Amino acid sequence: GAVVSQHPSWVICKSGTSVKIECRSLDFQATTMFWYRQFPKQSLMLMATSNEGSKATYEQGVEKDKFLINHASLTLSTLTVTSAHPEDSSFYICSARGRGALQETQYFGPGTRLLVL
């Protein structure tokens, strides 16, 4: 139980284009979803927290207009990297937290590797 998927698993795009990454909780309702960014050989850095039906809360230094987050349902959150540039190339990971016993722990997706040319 508590499986989180991400799509796509990797994406290559041209500079200036926008990329959408999906995060889905497959077997539970995710009341809260988190988006992280991981640089090579570094730890996960939280970008934003989203609760279903409300606006995302962004961490300091994260541009909300560049990284658009939508948590439209209890099983889906999307991260859109707008006008992507090479410095946005990274590994993006989502996690989800549910209700009850699933509230205590974040369950992570497999990540999406983004390469901006």
Partner 1 sequence: AQSVSQHNHHVILSEAASLELGCNYSYGGTVNLFWYVQYPGQHLQLLLKYFSGDPLVKGIKGFEAEFIKSKFSFNLRKPSVQWSDTAEYFCAVTFTGGGNKLTFGTGTQLKVEL
Q: Which residues bind partner 1 (CB under 8 A)?
A: 4, 32, 34, 41-46, 49, 57, 93, 95, 97, 104-111
Question: Cβ distance 109 to 94 under 8 Å?
Answer: yes
Residue 42 or 73 with smaller CB distance to partner 1 = 42
How would you classify residue 18: left for phi > 0, otherwise alpha for psi between -120 and 50, otherwise beta?
beta
Q: State the nearest-atom distance from the C-beta of 87 to partner 1, in Å.
A: 21
Taking only Cα atoms into account, the Rg of the chain, rounded to an integer number of angstroms, comes to 13
Q: State the nearest-atom distance from the C-beta of 23 to partner 1, in Å.
A: 12
